[in-house]
Structure 1
Amino acid sequence: MTTTILPRPPRSRLGHAYGEQLAQHAPAGHPTAAARESAALTLAYRDRFLNGPAFLSQAERRTVVEDLHTAYELLRSLPERVFGGNVTELAAAVGMDPLQSALITRSARTGSLLPLGRADLYHDGAGFRLLEFNITSALGGFENADINRAMLAYPPLEEFVRRHGLRYRDTLGCMVRTMYAECAATIPTHRTPVVAVVDTVENFAVVGPRLQVFAAKLADHGIEGIACDLGRLTYPKGRPTVSGRAVDVVFRYFLAEDLTDPASAAQLEPLLLAAEQGKVGLFSGLDAELYGNKGTLAMLSDEQHRDLFDAAELACINRLLPWTRYVRPRTTDPGGDRVGMLAYALAHQHELILKPTLLHGGNGITAGWQVDTAEWENKITSAMNGPFVLQRRVRPAAEPFPDHAGGLQGLFLNWGIYLGARSAGDDGYAGGFVRGSTDPAVGVVSMGSGAAVGCVFHGGDC
């Protein structure tokens, strides 16, 4: 009897089906025309848009969202599981300096912290693998649904989405719902709430125009939004005020890494005091930065902590996380054997990537396959015992996207999947977007490395 071995189903059946539809009907017009005409989208992404969307099946969506909620709860439990409830020790372990630790410890004592984050993932052909989990309110992505709507102006895609019953989530709407739940005590019910979108003085000089778009978009959700820097906040009677408008909630856009400057920390002090006194909601608290960094992922992955998790939790960690370890003289390899870190890193250079624990946006990352042996050894030696992790390389599977010649091309995607608070009938999926590259060997698929951006539709059978 002969056994027929069937090939693995291709990534994104709907992606292939969409490409076949375009090839058969040779549509006129350009799929990204409406996106390029949007002032808000071109401000955020210039003209770097993918020719089609990414597709996420219902089964994939349910699985990855449930895994991300599990990972979020595990990260939040690390102070208790690993450090006896001591938040300051966790802050030190992930590389925060004393000033950052003090600010975050104060924030941890103020208010609640609901799930809010963006997971950056590659799909390796078998499942999603988590590279980073950005747990903070400074996520970007508030234009995600605008990309979906702009792409739907292309008639072939609109017809395809309608025929297959596909959908998308409004990421900004999900953020707002999470903000309402987390800051309910300071949000008025008798008038329009005032929300200030706030960054540091230095950052606002760069991202201010985009945050002004963000603040204006809050009007679609019944909110008066104001974008400003920390230096513009004044505190009559202890309550933050901007241009004469008393603020109900500060939508935080600065990160822990922005607070090493004493001037920024001094400007933050009255805001933290106002939050502690219940005069303003701070969304999300600075303690979110404790959990949204690469160091905490290393703690979940590390062999020495496996006895802290039950079977279901370990299954999620094994499914979602690539091997990730702090850069220390001794470690455990993927098989659980004790090895010297430097020797292991040199022997497996082309399968490893070095990352700082706290920086964002691809800053400070070194991909082993992109440097020579001498530079790699120097990077690992310099990172030893510092705030760095080594992570096993994840090779993303190629996904089908329309090319410029009526066919399909394989792109390698960094999926940004957003997570918000769960509620009745809502599993907390807050939408997504993708960054796509033609280069399978790029260190990080990001806008900084030349990737283009696209939207995500979910549903159907892909």
Structure 2
Amino acid sequence: MTLAPGATSETTPGTTPAGPTAATAAVTAAAAVTEAAAVTEAYLSDPRLADAVRETVYPPAFQECWGARMLSRPLFTDRPELSRAAADVQDLFALLASLPQRLFDGDTARYCDALGIAPDRAGVIDRFATAPGRATRYGRADLYHDGSAFKLLEFNIASDLGGTDRSQMQRALLTHPAFADFAAEHGLDHVHTGERIAVALREAALPLTRGVREPRVGLVCAPGGLAAFGHLLLAFAEMMRDLGLPLTLGELDTLTDQGGRLRLDGDPVDVVLRFFTVDDLCAVPSSAARAELAFRAHEEGRAVLWTPMDSSLYSNKGALALLSDPATAFTPAERALTDRLLPWTRLLADGPPTPGPTPGETVTDLLSFCREHRTQLLLKPLRDFGGTGVIPGWERDPDDWARLLQDRMADATGPLTGLGNRWIVQRRVLPRTEPVLDPDTGARTPWVAAWGLFLTPQGYAGTDVRAAPASASAVVNYGSNPLTRTTGVFTVG
């Protein structure tokens, strides 16, 4: 589930306690001075804004969830650059959704086998596999900015997205008098992700509501989900209710079908906002039986499942390896898109020679290549999320890295079970750093930002950021790195 424990993570460049590497510093120093950089400097130099984040009043559930984990400043980015990245991400989504048909003649079972999705999971997914180009466009692309452009790290295409409530921070900051003046002076703008989700859910429910009433939304998680993720879900529910959408939180074991009407904890439901996963259903038969009520209601037009289970076809990290692989037949424009946005990515498996990450380079033995380029690569499991299982090569000694590669390569030849056992190897991205001011000491330190760019069927739907000190850890993740903070994004220009 992409929400738990709060967001996906990605590795930062290799760092030491003394600070970012020389390579990262060079990336930062080489970045052109943009309008957003000038606004950043103006923000950091304005004493009225030093404590604006802590002085702002936030919605209660949002404050409870994120109050102690907010970065001391929002981030700024140039609107044209973010717009280009958003357009690229939308085009990449279309490419992802085309892969089963383009590479496997629409055979979902073959596609799932290639990506390490076990047969029981594939069976659930195949039931909802859509015609080419019909996949629900809803997800979050996680990116780094390398000093010249945004680069994609992973694409979370699912209904159980984390970070959708973070735009509450931007909205609240605009009520702070000093920040409101600063925003007006510099023409700051933002897209509120919650508003875009509300539009998407209303449009999805139109066959039921006819546009004469608000859809009743049931956010449904697996048993135990409310206890585990309640603070996150309550912040999201607060936001959606404030936007006028009636929303009930519940778990699968409270989902019922009474008189042809789907209900969650007794409340009628038009839209099932799905926070349970294929893995939840395959692990617990009783959960699968309850989910079947929502599946049938969706198929019979009595409710809307948001989103159907086929999202797992595209969020699997192995799909990125298929996009990166030059053997995949793309048009020149499509190949330019993947080259522009996606770092070099390959499935960790035996195969024919393949182009390497450097132009003109050929990799004849992938395992040997990975051993030799340890400090430039990381391993990622295809199915995990939230940073689980990610292995940065630069954090391992050569012998340990070689053993890991051998073991993970062997995994690829074993039978598919459970979450799957396939891996990708990906070239790391050296992100630029963002200056952050400590309001208590006045010290500036470099932080690494992971940008989460949201999409709905209507298009770009806002951006959130997870950030961590460049010197603290190789993972930007709320669960494993307690120094990770969240913040909002404003565009400039």
* Shorter-chain TM-score above 0.5: yes
CA distance in 2 between partners of 1:250 and 1:21 (Å)? 42
| Counterpart residue type for residue 74 of structure 2 | P
Does the Cα contact within 8 Å between 2:348 and 2:408 map onto a contact in 1? yes
Q: 237-246 or 131-140: which moved more?
A: 237-246
* 2:451 is equivalent to residue 415 of structure 1: yes
The answer on whether the counterparts of 2:198 and 2:245 sit within 8 Å (CA) in structure 1 is no
**Residue of structure 2 aligned with 1:278, choices 292, 298, 301:** 301
Whether contact under 8 Å (2:65, 2:235) holds in the other structure is no
Residue type of the alignment partner of 1:226: T
Letter in 2 for 1:391: Q
**1:288 equivalent in alignment to 2:311:** yes
Cα distance change, pair 247–17 in 1 and its aligned pair in 2 (3 A): closer
Q: CA deviation at 1:30?
A: 1.6
Structure 1 residue 139: Cα displacement: 1.0
TM-superposed CA distance for 1:219, in Å, is 2.4
Q: CA deviation at 1:9?
A: 4.4
Partner of 1:342: 367
Q: CA deviation at 1:407?
A: 5.7
Do 1:141 and 1:172's aligned partners in 2 also have CA atoms closer than 8 Å? no
Go from structure 1 to structure 2 and tell me whether the alpha carbon gap of 1:440 and 1:11 turns closer, same or farther (over 3 Å shift).
farther
Unaligned 5+ runs, structure 2: 1-28, 413-420
Distance 1:223 1:21, change over 3 A: closer
Instruction: Indicate whether 1:323 and 2:323 are aligned.
Output: no
Whole-Å separation in 2 of the counterparts to 1:20 and 1:269: 55
% identity of equivalent residues: 33
- Secondary structure of 1:27 counterpart: helix
Which of 76, 86, 92 in structure 1 is aligned with 2:107? 86
Structure 1 counterpart SS, 2:69: coil
Name the CA distance, whole Å, in 2 between partners of 1:324 and 1:28. Answer: 41
**Equivalent residue for 2:212?**
190
Read off the aligned partner of 1:115 and give its amino acid letter: R
Paired residues of 2:321 and 2:345 also in contact (CA < 8 A)? yes
Q: 1:438 aligns with which of 469, 487, 490?
A: 469
* Corresponding residue of 1:207: 229
Q: 1:240 is matched with which residue: 251, 262, 285?
A: 262
**Counterpart amino acid of 2:251?**
D
Partner residue in 2 for 1:314: 335
- State the one-letter code of the partner of 1:160: F
Residues 1:21 and 1:290: Cα distance change in structure 2 (over 3 Å): closer
Q: CA RMSD in A?
A: 2.4
Q: Distance in 2 between matches of 1:35 and 1:108?
A: 45
Q: Does residue 159 of structure 2 align to residue 137 of structure 1?
A: yes
Q: How far did residue 350 of structure 1 move? A: 1.0
Contact 1:398–1:412 (CA under 8 A) maintained in structure 2? yes
1:452 offset after TM fit, Å? 1.1
Change in 2 beyond 3 A, CA 1:112/1:237: farther
Task: Give 1:155 deviation, angstroms.
Answer: 3.9
Residues 109 and 26 (structure 1), Cα distance of their counterparts in 2 relative to 1, 3 Å cut: closer
* CA deviation map 1:205-253 (0-9, x unaligned): 3113432342343223332100001110011244321233221110011
The Cα of 1:82 is off from its aligned counterpart by: 0.5
1:394 aligned partner:
429
Could you tell me how far 1:356 is from its partner in structure 2?
A: 0.8
Partner of 2:102, secondary structure, is helix
Q: Distance in 1 between matches of 2:309 and 2:393?
A: 32
1:197 and 1:250 in contact (8 A); partners too = yes
TM normalised by structure 1 equals 0.90
Tell me the SS of whatever aligns to 2:476: coil
Matched residue type, 1:394? V
Distance 1:161 1:237, change over 3 A: same
Q: Displacement, 1:91?
A: 2.1
Distance (whole Å) between structure 1 residues aligned to residue 234 and residue 59 of structure 2:
15
TM value normalised by structure 2:
0.84
8 A Cα contact 1:366 1:443, kept in partner: no
* Distance across 1 between alignment mates of 2:423 and 2:109: 19
Contact 2:257 2:293 in 1 (8 A): yes
**2 CA distance for matches of 1:80 and 1:32?**
48
**Alpha-carbon distance in structure 1 between the residues aligned to 2:261 and 2:128:** 17
